Amino acid sequence: MAVFTGAGVALVTPFDENRAVNYEKLAELIEFQVKGSTDAIIACGTTGEASTLTHEEHIEVIRFCVEKVAGRIPVVAGTGSNCTDTAVYLSVEAEKAGADALLVVSPYYNKATQKGLFEHFKEIADAVKIPVILYNVPSRTGCNILPDTVVRLCTEVTNIVGVKEASGDIAQIAKLMHLAGGKVDLYSGNDDQIVPLLSLGGKGVISVLSNIAPRQTHDICARYLAGAVTESAQMQLDAIPLCGALFCEVNPIPVKKALNLMGMEVGTLRRPLTEMEAVNVPRLEKAMKEYGIL
């Protein structure tokens, strides 16, 4: 059984004026997501600025999310690193904290071979009992997990169950699902490709858009999976301008700005990320207004 079906939110990590984690605001964001029918919370992913959290903060944010969600929906913990030992440590601690599953990004900067990727992910998965979802985002990591490697991992490692695919390469993803034989749970890592990946057998999306439009993103998936393909496709198309605005600068800069425009007060970003360029804000505001969330 899949860890979740539908739209999981790649949740931002809110900071206070001193750039410390704002746990009171994090609790509010979690409730906003649950009430908005989000199907899973993904804590400490790229959108959650995990790369700028200390290990202690990283684990505490996961623990806090598990506590506040209280079993209502799955909590998936981002625990990837370009150091295998670090990823193992974070994964073991996330399991202890009560996470339902892990999202593990490919090691960045090192640019491992496919053999190295297999051994990296296997070592992490062997250290825990909960399910592991691979995360392929070569535009950020410089490393592409090829279809054969994904299928081999999902076949040979019992608790590696699927992949968040953010390569944007539909041909590669189609090849993956051709080879998968039902052994790979596929999640879109791009909000502008939810329906295309559902059409290839995907289970849903791990979404940035869900931060500001949880119900709409959930409904794109739910309608498709209920057989209302034309309606779901139109909802996907309606969201395209907003998806574009949310990625006009590097994620999570625009989505944090969007949440602040909505009055959610999630704070600023940790360096090296900076506030959204003023020239791009009108585009984001316009897209949010046209989508009906501002």
Fold that domain 6-228 belongs to in CATH = TIM Barrel (3.20.20)
**What SS3 class is residue 121?**
helix
Span between the terminal Cα atoms of the chain, in Å: 37
Catalytic residue among 25, 68, 135, 187: 135
Measured distance CA(121)–CA(100) in Å, rounded: 18
Alpha-carbon span 42 to 102, nearest angstrom? 9
Longest dimension (CA), the chain: 49
pLDDT of amino acid 1 = 86
**Does the annotation count 164 as an active-site position?**
yes
C-alpha of 85 from chain center: 22
- Collapsing DSSP to helix, strand or coil, 160 comes out as strand
Paired with 16 in beta bridges are none
Burial 139-169 (b: 16+ CB within 10 A, else e): eebebbbebebbbbbbeebeebbbbbbbbee
Locate 62 and state its tokens: 């996961």
* 213, 219, 220, 226 alpha-carbon torsion, rounded to 10°: 170
| Antiparallel, parallel or unpaired: β 75-78 and 40-43 | parallel
Angle at 205 between CA 88 and CA 282, to 5 degrees: 110
At residue 44, the pLDDT reads 98
> Tokens in use for 67?
């506590």
Catalytic residue among 25, 68, 164, 203: 164
Q: What is the mean pLDDT of each run of 10 residues along the chain (294 residues)?
A: 97 98 98 98 98 98 98 98 98 98 97 98 98 98 97 98 98 98 97 98 98 98 98 98 98 98 98 98 98 97
| pTM of the full structure | 0.98
Distance (Å, whole) CA 231 – CA 235: 6
Question: Is residue 224 annotated as a catalytic residue, yes or no?
Answer: no
